[in-house]
Amino acid sequence: MSNKRIVIIGGTACGPKAAARARRCDPAAKITIIEQRNNLSTATCGLPYYISGVIKGEGALVARQTDYFRDVMDMDVMVQTRAAAVHPREHKVDVINLTTNGRASLDYDKLVLATGCTPIVPDWKGKGLNGIFTLSNIPDAGAIRDHLTGSGAKDVVIVGAGLIGMEMAEAFVARGLRVTVVEAMDRVLPALLDFEMAAHLEKHLKAKGVKIICGQPVSGFTGDNGKNVRKVITRDKEIEASLVLLSLGVRPDASLGKAAGLTTGATGGLAVDEHLRTSDPDIYAGGDCVELVNLITGKKTLVPLGSTANKHGRVIGTNVTGGSETFKGVLGTAIAKVFNYNVGRVGLTESQAREAGYQVTTSLVPTFEHATYYPGARDIFVKLVAEKSSGKLLGGQAIGTGDTAKRIDVLAAALTFGAGVDDLADIDLAYAPPYNSAMDPLHNAANVIRNKQSGLGRSLTPVEVKKKIEAGERFTLLDVRSPAEWKAQRIPAGQVKLIPLPELRKRLGELNREEEIVTFCRTSIRAYQAQRILDGAGFKNVKFLDGSLEGWPFETESGAPA
Amino acid sequence: MSNKRIVIIGGTACGPKAAARARRCDPAAKITIIEQRNNLSTATCGLPYYISGVIKGEGALVARQTDYFRDVMDMDVMVQTRAAAVHPREHKVDVINLTTNGRASLDYDKLVLATGCTPIVPDWKGKGLNGIFTLSNIPDAGAIRDHLTGSGAKDVVIVGAGLIGMEMAEAFVARGLRVTVVEAMDRVLPALLDFEMAAHLEKHLKAKGVKIICGQPVSGFTGDNGKNVRKVITRDKEIEASLVLLSLGVRPDASLGKAAGLTTGATGGLAVDEHLRTSDPDIYAGGDCVELVNLITGKKTLVPLGSTANKHGRVIGTNVTGGSETFKGVLGTAIAKVFNYNVGRVGLTESQAREAGYQVTTSLVPTFEHATYYPGARDIFVKLVAEKSSGKLLGGQAIGTGDTAKRIDVLAAALTFGAGVDDLADIDLAYAPPYNSAMDPLHNAANVIRNKQSGLGRSLTPVEVKKKIEAGERFTLLDVRSPAEWKAQRIPAGQVKLIPLPELRKRLGELNREEEIVTFCRTSIRAYQAQRILDGAGFKNVKFLDGSLEGWPFETESGAPA
């Protein structure tokens, strides 16, 4: 115990958590929290649901009242107060009371920077127009709600198809608005999903009435009399808008630390060691303002999330009171509810893995969350990415109406320990028909990669097959489903030939042994079986279509064949 | 490729999976499956749901038709055929066609035993009476359904509160029957749950109309005219019964292998190595008939589950065709839907850990599946068991109406890699309000153990506190909830004193510094905080009640205090 003076700047997640932990570790410390807005401990992750109306009232977003920090935690709480400058040598923080404009200087023995992040707003023409918003705190959410109520806005344009953009698309649709999402990259959630996964989400968004425009960088906005926003200008288009939400990501708010001479990394975040100590031994930092280690690549990264901020708070609270805890890094785990889809990612996507220089093997498994003979099984679609040579897992994605969160979290646990596909395939996951199939989708996804590693399975991706079709290549796209399935949905291509799997062994003579054959079915199970039958019959150039028809992101046709 | 003759005995899960994998690995092998009943590839885990009516029709329980194995997998399928004897030296299996009584002998190069298990039926008086059933295959389920329809049975007694017993309690209630469960041990699901967890499940079962009688060994049955069962006789009771289900667990069906001279373990299961090879190099075995390694204790165990049987099938299919795969062991992961409760366990329970000789630290965390500010958060109750000295995780249990399956599976992944509580607390699990809280319940449960390890947190279990109350010990059971919470529900004991947490710092004078103080609240969060406040104020003997009121398995009172 001590009379150590601990000053914490920032009251959203990491700050209050660090304060509470410090108090529990050191009952005698003098702890002060400084927060520029009205409340500590706010659930900013709930903002989209507050705007949609799913969460009623701002009050629900305040996890702990200020009184709690004063009466129970015995802290000084300075709300509506801004930290203006840190003086590391003097161990002082200058603060300004935003209500009275009064200035003061606080002494500290240990300082905690939990200054969060700020939304990215590019210097686009017209960005100051009325009706253009970002969303990162309760006042932002209030302003959006007020604008919607006050202006009668009907056309919303979301710029940026990241996590907030996707969650807000649902929120705005829930409020009865016409929603367009504009994204500069070629797909939605580009940091979380590879193309074929994103394509499925895009279909779902469209089915919910959201207009998606990808590959269109925004250049600015125009308004009426230069006052209220009316149009979003992209490279090729002008899109009507009476409200614009900019969701282009965030930047760590490291300005206070930087001005005080603390080291920042190439990412722009404050640099901290495993103990979350900055370059000054008496200053710790955590939450969205610091850079993190990506546990897969070992490189520095920014992943601003409340989950990490809370873990940071505990580590910092321990360390500023004389204890020793560490935080090793993150996996980039992320999840979002996007209408009826549960969309998750952990580790690296295939694109990110290739950019990081890995040779990869992947699997695409469209399946169900639990045994299909038990009612109510919802679909999930899993993509697994592993290092080609070693089989070490690099990441996974899961989307669908079913329980993807469980699979993402199991992968997160496995990736934490450097698991390979062999390990994953054997994890003793809980099985009963209401919860899973005897083989979890992750087991299957790992086994598909193992089959490819051993040479038993060979596949092409949907994008690769689509290219061959479009190039008019000579090859056979062998559909091994039943005639009824064929009638209901087909890949429209001249290369397609139907031989139902049960007839395949008898109808080998109908296939050209000299030509490449790509088998497909609904999910790839029969397609892989067909590949093995053809291999066994001496065919030399057979592959299956990864994910088959369920994984096919391109157009299909149905009804009687032309 | 070869013309290797592979004979597989047993067609439920491991057998067909081994056959299919063997075919994919070796297109030329001659593969034969022998099954004594009508169908291969049956989903016996679905039987309770077929009896309840949730699953309509037996057909849904047959995953693959026999034709599929013949036409697509190119195998010989011998259904209604029993393997009578194995001759390892001659590499022959004698079979009997159960329809024609015809006998034959099959040559094999590699043999696979997937002979499953048989329900345990003790030699109790009256066990042969009509209306007494076990449940392990589709004909069993059919017989139970027929008996219910034909006899007008109303009173069902389930002997044994294991997994099948619990699932069947729900199934019988769904059919409008009066259900009593009789269990020799002191609690339901004794192999899966420690007492305080089982007590919560028991409350839920009672709320659903199931009568639970624990601590009563059954000694026999009586019937009318010695024909139809009428009563179950226990040590102290006679219980009306027009249908009795014996769910006392299963024994590995190792008889065929044993008769052929194969080694069995002390568990009674066939002994196999990591490659699932028996003591005969040309005979492999998998599924419910073999013993497994418990990955926590390193000891041999029996955990008959379809999930393991399927994994075994793949390993065996690879190995009998010249490949090399291994199966390392299991964690005893189990899950069951019991009415609205999702009940799971992985690793060792506290009782099992202590029996195995571990010193343990545990945590009890009653909480919610996701952020409570997002609608629809259902309750979950987590217990974590760790080795005291090292913090190494030994096991976990989770019950409640919320998503326990995810937490069990994350723990399964972590336990696979020998994780400790420090590792668990830092896993980067997916967070968004519809899926989780910023800190997952497992993070909190791990941190509670870390707090105990560091000496910050000290607790008593509900059982320990109950004993102190009953012994009339002098101590203060300090309730730190609000007066409104106190009015709604209280622990009925003279030792209880209410001081709401926000007032605690001001009312320290009301507490006796010489007496032991045990704090509690609703979930333990405030109780732990109160313990730290009292520690900080110089009190020397303060603990908190683990799991607090939500975790309290004993009676409570409500209304105005007496």
Question: Domain of B356: which CATH number?
Answer: 3.30.390.30
Residues A207 and A261 in one domain: no
Residues B266 and B231 in one domain: no
pLDDT on residue A57: 85
Residues A59 and A87 in one domain: yes
Distance (Å) from the C-alpha of residue A273 to the closest C-alpha of chain B? 16
> CB distance B71–A505 less than 8 Å?
yes
H or E stretch covering B501: helix B501-504
Which member of B14, B25, B45, B117 is catalytic? B45
CATH number, domain with residue B508 = 3.40.250.10
Q: Which residues of A touch B22 (CB under 8 A)?
A: none
A334 is a domain residue: no
Residues A74 and A47 in one domain: yes
pLDDT at A356 over 70: yes
> CB distance A419–B417 less than 8 Å?
yes
pLDDT tier at B562, thresholds 50, 70, 90: low
Residues B359 and B310 in one domain: no
Between β-strands B459-460 and B360-368, what pairing exists: parallel, antiparallel or unpaired?
unpaired
pLDDT tier at A428, thresholds 50, 70, 90: very high
Distance CA B35, CA B30 (A): 17
Among the candidates A454, A486, A518, a domain finishes at: A454
A vs B: CB pairs below 8 A: 262
Question: Mean pLDDT of all residues in chain A?
Answer: 96
Q: Does residue A256 contact residue A118 with C-beta atoms inside 8 Å?
A: no
pLDDT on residue A1: 47
Residue with tokens 């115990």, as numbered in its chain: A1
Name the residue among B382, B474, B13, B437 with its Cα closest to residue B197. B382
pLDDT single digits (tens) A160-181: 999 999 999 999 999 999 999 9
pLDDT single digits (tens) B123-149: 999 999 999 999 999 999 999 999 999
Q: Enumerate the β-bridge partners of residue A251.
A: A118
Q: What is the mean pLDDT of residues A429-451?
A: 98
Neighbouring CB atoms inside 10 A of A212's CB total 20
> CB distance B430–A323 less than 8 Å?
no
> CB distance B429–A336 less than 8 Å?
no
Task: Say whether residue A14 is in contact with chain B using an 8 A CB cutoff.
Answer: no
Q: Enumerate the β-bridge partners of residue A113.
A: A9, A285
Distance CA A66, CA A77 (A): 7
Task: Say whether residue A2 is in contact with chain B using an 8 A CB cutoff.
Answer: no
Q: What is the mean pLDDT of residues A347-360?
A: 98
Give catalytic status of residue A45 as yes or no: yes
Cα-trace Rg, chain B: 27
pLDDT on residue B3: 86
A292 is a domain residue: yes
B328 is a domain residue: no
Distance CA B28, CA B93 (A): 21
Residues A422 and A469 in one domain: no
pLDDT on residue B460: 97
Q: Which residues of B touch A420 (CB under 8 A)?
A: none
Give me the residue from A427, A439, A533 closest to B412, CB to CB. Answer: A427
Q: How many angstroms separate the first and last alpha carbons of chain A?
A: 82
Whether this model's ipTM surpasses 0.85 comes out as: yes
pLDDT on residue A65: 87
Residues B257 and B163 in one domain: no
B335 is a domain residue: no
B175 is a domain residue: yes
pLDDT tier at B561, thresholds 50, 70, 90: low
> CB distance B416–A427 less than 8 Å?
yes
CATH number, domain with residue B48 = 3.50.50.60
H or E stretch covering B81: strand B81-87
Q: How many structural domains does chain A have?
A: 4
Name the residue among A82, A69, A12 with its Cα closest to residue A43. A12
pLDDT over 90 percentage in chain A: 94
pLDDT single digits (tens) B196-210: 999 999 999 999 999
A127 is a domain residue: no
Residues A191 and A258 in one domain: no
> CB distance A408–B426 less than 8 Å?
no
- The chain B residue lying nearest A58, using CA atoms, is B373
Residues B137 and B111 in one domain: no
Residues A417 and A511 in one domain: no
Q: In angstroms, what CA-CA distances link B402 with A33, A52, A190, B140, B381? A: 35, 24, 32, 32, 9
Give me the residue from B373, B435, B535 closest to A405, CB to CB. Answer: B435
Distance CA A335, CA A82 (A): 32
Both tokens assigned to B15: 């057998």
> CB distance B429–A333 less than 8 Å?
yes
pLDDT on residue A152: 85
pLDDT at B1 over 50: no
Neighbouring CB atoms inside 10 A of A151's CB total 13
Higher pLDDT, B169 or A151: B169
Task: Say whether residue A305 is in contact with chain B using an 8 A CB cutoff.
Answer: yes
pLDDT at B383 over 80: yes
Among the candidates A319, A350, A366, a domain finishes at: A319
A37 is a domain residue: yes
pLDDT single digits (tens) B445-494: 999 999 999 999 999 999 999 999 999 999 999 999 999 999 999 999 99
B294 is a domain residue: yes
Among the candidates B227, B248, B269, a domain finishes at: B248
pLDDT tier at B2, thresholds 50, 70, 90: low
Name the residue among A59, A56, A18 with its Cα closest to residue A35. A18
Taking only residues 310 to 349 of chain B, the set having a beta carbon closer than 8 angstroms to any beta carbon of chain A reads 310-311, 314, 323, 327-337, 342, 344, 346
pLDDT on residue B411: 98
Q: Does residue B269 contact residue B302 with C-beta atoms inside 8 Å?
A: yes
B560 torsion bin: left (phi>0), alpha (psi -120 to 50), beta (else): beta
Residues B444 and B495 in one domain: no
Task: Say whether residue A70 is in contact with chain B using an 8 A CB cutoff.
Answer: no
pLDDT on residue B421: 98
Residues A99 and A139 in one domain: no
Instruction: Map residue A12 onto helix, strand or coil.
Output: coil
Residue A183, burial from CB neighbour count under 10 angstroms (0-12, 13-18, 19+) = buried
- Spell out the residues 6+ positions from residue A128 whose beta carbon is closer than 8 angstroms to its own: none
Q: Nearest 5°: CA angle at A554, between A548 and A555?
A: 105
Structural domain that includes position A397 = 340-454
> CB distance A432–B337 less than 8 Å?
yes
Residue with tokens 């300082």, as numbered in its chain: A111
